[in-house]
Amino acid sequence: MNYFSSDFKLGILGGGQLGKMMLTETRKFDIQTYVVDPSAEAPCQFGATKFFQGSLNDYQTVIDLGNQVDILTIEIENVNLEALETLENEGKKVYPSPKTLRLISNKGNQKDFYTQHNIPTAPYKRFSTLEALKAEVENGSVKTPFVWKATEGGYDGNGVKVVRKTEDLDTLPETECIAETMIPFKNELAVIVARSASGEIKTYPVVEMEFHPEANQVEYVICPARIDETVSQKAREIALKVSKAYNHVGLLAVEMFQTKDDEILVNEVAPRPHNSGHYSIEASYTSQFEQHIRAILNLPLGNTASKVAGIMVNLVGEEGFSGDVVYENIEKIMAIDGVTPHIYGKRETRPFRKMGHVTIVNENMTEARKVAQQVKETIRVISK
């Protein structure tokens, strides 16, 4: 099929920053894109061939977009799966498939899936209600501390809480959830796997994630991870096993823990471009966004190797600021070699909202990490 400078149309469900960065690649290739998002202010309103406002959970909205395009993809998992199933049954190509999305969209299902496929993951128990969990904490069959996760709708640290004492349960919402054993780990790692429609498969190098202690958001993504080669190899092998089990098309970001004993446990996955791959825009031969487009269009996959060491710093709204965004000191970080800011196009900031990221590239990882720290301490996302 001719995708380039042609009548071919790619549909994208979701118009946030991931979609916006995908559009950079579709524009590079001159591929037409139709995007739908609930917000009229969505970052994808600029850059798409056509932009529609509508709910991603509304059956008819998803059907209408699907009927106008040749291939449909997502930049967020929370979409109407019944509509995607209808479209797929009618012969529309949907990547990742609704079947894959069903397996991934519920964290309880995800954990069950790992157990069924002998994929190493932290021990857990699943509960249909908060009351059922409370009962088991009270009778001692679930011991604190543990990690509570809502099975649906969590993102960027929302829907995840460390329960250290029984009283912590009183602050949690009434919803289906899992209680996961707290694992003492050395590192949080991630591997992005790309798989094309014909089954060609490649993995990106292992990255290491440094987290904000309070917000449970990633502060730095470091590529390559500063880990032993044998651990790196094991992480990539497990990521491939997960990818093959899900049989996805497109990208699959596999987040993992490296335990104190250098075991690798799968935490969770995302079937789309992911925060842990943003470094690739500047540091890799093929960015994750270009790779996603290549994979779903069944084009040859690009080289996943890095040209240089890359570190990504998330730009999130400062605490105490809400309103029209101001990127304070952005010109100071732009004066530093190897520093590239990416601004997502959200006009309103609020505490911990993801507003952009900065990539730092350097031949020398130690130097890159120093610059990342400097960037983090210099730029502030505030309001007028």
CATH number for the domain that contains residue 306:
3.30.470.20
| Residue 157 in this model has a pLDDT that exceeds 70 | no
Q: In terms of pLDDT, which residue wins out, 215 or 11?
A: 11
Residue 115 domain flag:
no
Q: Is the separation of the CB atoms in 204 and 288 below 8 Å?
A: yes
Q: Which pLDDT band, with edges at 50, 70 and 90, does 211 fall under?
A: confident
Same domain, 191 and 63: no
Same domain, 172 and 193: no
Residue 205 domain flag:
yes
Q: In terms of pLDDT, which residue wins out, 159 or 157?
A: 159
Give the pLDDT score at 1. Answer: 86
Calpha distance 192→304 (Å, rounded):
10
Same domain, 87 and 208: no
Q: Is residue 268 annotated as involved in ligand binding? A: yes
Give the pLDDT score at 219. Answer: 85
Q: Is residue 180 annotated as involved in ligand binding? A: yes
Calpha distance 330→178 (Å, rounded):
41
| Residue 305 in this model has a pLDDT that exceeds 90 | yes
pLDDT digits (tens, 9 = 90+) for 102-155: 999 999 999 999 999 999 999 999 999 999 999 999 999 999 999 999 998 776
Same domain, 147 and 242: no
- Counted residue by residue, the chain has a size of 384
Calpha distance 262→193 (Å, rounded):
21
Classify residue 55 by burial, with Cβ atoms within 10 Å: 0-12, 13-18, 19+. middle
The rounded mean pLDDT for the chain is: 95
Mean pLDDT score, 327-341: 98
Pick the last residue of a domain from 156, 181, 206: 181
Give the pLDDT score at 203. Answer: 98
Residue 215 domain flag:
yes
Residue 172 domain flag:
yes
Does the model's pTM come out above 0.75? yes
Residue 266 domain flag:
yes
Calpha distance 287→375 (Å, rounded):
22
Strand partners, 73: 12
Q: Which pLDDT band, with edges at 50, 70 and 90, does 215 fall under?
A: low
What's 81's domain CATH number? Answer: 3.40.50.20
Q: Is residue 282 annotated as involved in ligand binding? A: no
Mean pLDDT score, 165-191: 93
Residue 130 domain flag:
yes
Chain-centre distance for alpha carbon 27: 22
Residue 279 domain flag:
yes
Q: Is residue 188 annotated as involved in ligand binding? A: yes
| Residue 244 in this model has a pLDDT that exceeds 70 | yes
Same domain, 82 and 170: no
Structure tokens at 253: 């970001």
Domain that holds residue 130: 123-181
Q: Is residue 360 annotated as involved in ligand binding? A: no
Q: Is residue 149 annotated as involved in ligand binding? A: yes
| Secondary element (H or E) of residue 233 | helix 229-246
Mean pLDDT score, 280-308: 98
pLDDT digits (tens, 9 = 90+) for 250-279: 999 999 999 999 999 999 999 999 999 999
Calpha distance 37→172 (Å, rounded):
29
What's 144's domain CATH number? Answer: 3.30.1490.20
Give the pLDDT score at 158. Answer: 77
pLDDT digits (tens, 9 = 90+) for 27-66: 999 999 999 999 999 999 999 999 999 999 999 999 999 9
Q: Is residue 174 annotated as involved in ligand binding? A: no
Which residue reads 């992480």 in tokens? Answer: 235
Give the pLDDT score at 156. Answer: 64
| Residue 67 in this model has a pLDDT that exceeds 80 | yes
| Residue 346 in this model has a pLDDT that exceeds 70 | yes
Q: Is the separation of the CB atoms in 91 and 70 below 8 Å?
A: no
Structure tokens at 300: 């040859």
